[in-house]
Amino acid sequence: MNNKLIEQLERFVQEDPDDPFNLYALALEYLKTDTTKAQSLFEQLTDRHKDYVPTYYQLGQLYAEQGRTEEAIQTFERGVVAARNAGDNKALREMEGARLALLYDN
């Protein structure tokens, strides 16, 4: 784990808690070593920054890896809505594809 990077990202979050990118970057870094912490941060993002599209894909994937299929599908569905609202067609296709893959695997 890159402790210096995590410390720096945590400072960024403290300095500007309303910037979703700082929290997202911190969650991605934790995803490498502490999925529980990463999950908590991604969940905070979906609660506090509902329009921050990349979060939904990461959180959905994390739920899917944990075998939490229903939560993953619901997260991807919320991400599809956020991506559509943001006009982010690439993210929309990725999340719709991930959601469909989970639906067909079940």
**Hey, what domains does the chain have and what are their CATH numbers?**
3-105 (1.25.40.10)
Give the model's pLDDT for residue 106.
Answer: 67
Average pLDDT, the chain: 95
From CA 47, how far away is CA 98, in angstroms rounded?
21
Q: What pTM, to 2 d.p., does this model score?
A: 0.93
46 neighbors 56 (Cβ within 8 angstroms): yes
Average pLDDT value for residue range 35-53: 96
**Rounded to whole angstroms, how far apart are CA atoms 94 and 83?**
10
Percent residues over pLDDT 90 in the chain: 94
* Residue 79 to residues 19, 22, 33, 34, 94, Cα–Cα distance (Å): 19, 19, 24, 23, 10
Given a cut of 60, is residue 1 above it in pLDDT? Answer: no
Q: Looking at residue 53, what DSSP letter applies?
A: T
pLDDT over 70 (residue 46): yes
Give the tens place of pLDDT for each residue, 63-104.
Answer: 999 999 999 999 999 999 999 999 999 999 999 999 999 999
Cβ neighbors of 65 (< 8 A, separation 6 or more) are none
